[in-house]
Structure 1
Amino acid sequence: MAAPEVLDRIPLLSGVPRTVELLPGGLTNHNYKVTVPSGCYVARVWASDGSLLAIDRDAEHANSIAAAAAGVGAPVHDYRPGLGVLVVGFLPGRTFTEADLLDSANLPRVARACRRLHAGPRFVRDFDMFEVQQRYLAIVRERGFRLPEGYLDFMPTVAQIQKCLAVRDEGTVPCNNDLLPGNILDDGERIWLIDYEYSGNNDACFELGNIWSESDLPLGHLEELVTAYYGRRLRHKIARARLLGLMSKYGWTLWASIQDGANESIDFDFWSWGMEKYERAVSEFTGSGLVALMDEAARAD
């Protein structure tokens, strides 16, 4: 169904006059800025049902409401699963770029937004990259999708990392789990976090490590981000975020493999996107400091 036809079936967005603008970004949604007499909204129209990627649209809706209640997400105005649409308020502001995250002055602001989200209402599901990676791997093997060379060689190390992180496990908090620069908005005063497709209760250090990983930030920036989040420098938390950032790269590599094999209609080079992450993961898996990093994550400061 074309976007105008979908919007016509949503009373909030069917007002006249109406302007519709396709927003950039989004691979599993098409996002439209819709302006009608009652206000300005964003209609997130599903590009796929997301089932292969473990996207739960009902959970996305519920968690978006929770993020709005926490004061860090856009208000939710309508949800029409039959039409494949989630309608949220339009947040005026500028979308972050990697350059914004390279600016150290922004890291405490991002940390504050994460703390606000993490202190908010619990989400309706959990997200654990170790489990997600295993689920993605099963799909890749069952469907015969491409697997990067040597990918399975690192599975024993992954098991060691998971065991080491269990030593100082402090539970989970509601996390976005997908804070690419494009999912961070700056209105000039505060930071907003958008897009809750992969949201779920998770280790706070995954959120921080994923931010670092997704934008390929220098290690010093991760240390600043983690320190700003916790209010003091904690060696074991920095190590934990680094290890979970590594798992982010390793797990999202398979997300790209699934997209590469299943979404021929989307004009995007998923394989190259995933291989870039995988190559960075390999350099960390094979680096000389991984054992020491696991030791740091398991020890008290």
Structure 2
Amino acid sequence: MADDPELDRLLDQVPRLSSRVLVEELSGGLTNRNYRVVTPEGDFVVRWSGSDATLLGIDRDAECANTRAAHEAGVGAEVFDYRPDLGVLVIGYLTGTSLVDESFTDPGVLRRAAEACRRLHAGPQFTGEFDMFARQAAYRETVRERGFRLPDGYDDHADGWAAVRRVVEARPRRSVPCNNDLLAGNFIDDGERVWLIDYEYSGRNDADFELGNTTTECEFTPEMVEAYAEAYYGTPSRGDVARVRLGALRAQYGWALWGFIQAASSDFDFDFWGWGMHRYEKAARGFTSDGFERLLADAAGR
């Protein structure tokens, strides 16, 4: 049992959890704490919000609604309780293995992950929009207003960022329900199918960002990016693969700011500055690479 009086007081306020027989903290989560809570009636996960959702652009009501929609799509856990007054979301515990970056080197895992994304994207539409261009601008304004630390050179890539935006918005892809934060730990593999968890940043978005975000978060090789695009699209065009690569660049440049905001504001014991720098440095390499203009041209094609 987790030895935490504050947690005990919290769980006592959720009737479904009052008869708990096991409480254990789960790994992962940089804006909340997650606990497995077993009762005679069932096995649950409690997501307890921790960080300032306003600074990070998190809508907890949308998170709950979209978690329900993901369950309806057959790809997410069931929602059992939502207590916004306590910062608590109670969902079903999914049996399986949380993936790590290396898991995706297994072609079967890669395929199941892509299939999970297709199920989610074909499911009930989500509440809210997720636009990384708008989010990056909002994060950048938060950094400016609060005087948060930013690496030298971040704004030097504004022209490259604008070029990416022009290409993406010139031929917008269909908006589908997206998780938008599919790092390895948010895939749960039971050996037959993959489930998707954590809908804090969920909303309607294009699939290219969803796929690209995973390829950069999980450190895919160029060959793995192509294989992932093939597993999702079937027979992807050159433009499809380029759009996924631009999705990765969008994720790197935008989420880097998330890391810098967390570094200045979060009380979690985690190197958020290093986390943000890793993503920023990848984005900087992408913007300045010899292949950047070719990538834009490929993505602009069909």
Which band: TM-score by shorter chain?
Answer: over 0.9
SS of structure 1 residue aligned to 2:204:
strand
| 1:278 aligned partner, one-letter code | Y
List per-residue Cα deviations over 1:148-201 (Å, max 9, x = no partner).
110101111111111111232122100000011110001121100000000010
- Cα distance in 2 between the residues matched to 1:58 and 1:295: 39
- Cα distance in 2 between the residues matched to 1:53 and 1:244: 20
Counterpart of 2:81?
Answer: 78
Counterpart of 1:282?
Answer: 284
Counterpart of 2:268?
Answer: 266
| 2:6 aligned partner, one-letter code | A
SS of structure 2 residue aligned to 1:87:
strand
Q: Are the equivalent residues in 2 in contact too, given 1:73–1:192 (CA < 8 A)?
A: yes
CA RMSD of aligned residues (A): 1.0
Q: Are the equivalent residues in 2 in contact too, given 1:45–1:86 (CA < 8 A)?
A: yes
- Cα distance in 1 between the residues matched to 2:161 and 2:52: 29
| 1:199 aligned partner, one-letter code | S
Matched, 1:6 2:17: no
Structure 2 residues without counterparts, runs of 5 or longer: none
Bigger Cα displacement from structure 2, 112-121 vs 164-173: 164-173
Counterpart of 1:193?
Answer: 196
Q: Are the equivalent residues in 2 in contact too, given 1:18–1:37 (CA < 8 A)?
A: yes
Matched, 1:32 2:35: yes
- Cα distance in 2 between the residues matched to 1:173 and 1:70: 12
Runs of 4+ in 1 over 2 A off after TM superposition: 102-105
- Cα distance in 1 between the residues matched to 2:51 and 2:264: 14
Corresponding residue pairs, total: 298
- Structure-to-structure mapping, 1:1-301, within 5 angstroms: 2-15=6-19, 17-263=20-266, 265-300=267-302
SS of structure 2 residue aligned to 1:2:
helix
Tell me by how many angstroms 1:287 deviates. 0.3
List per-residue Cα deviations over 1:244-265 (Å, max 9, x = no partner).
11010000110001001111x2
| 2:11 aligned partner, one-letter code | L
SS of structure 1 residue aligned to 2:188:
strand
Equivalent pairs: percent with the same residue? Answer: 52
Tell me by how many angstroms 1:102 deviates. 2.4
List per-residue Cα deviations over 1:189-246 (Å, max 9, x = no partner).
1100000000010010000000001111101111111111111131101101101110
- Cα distance in 2 between the residues matched to 1:53 and 1:25: 17
List per-residue Cα deviations over 1:77-107 (Å, max 9, x = no partner).
0000001100000001110001101223321
Q: Are the equivalent residues in 2 in contact too, given 1:227–1:234 (CA < 8 A)?
A: no
Tell me by how many angstroms 1:19 deviates. 1.1
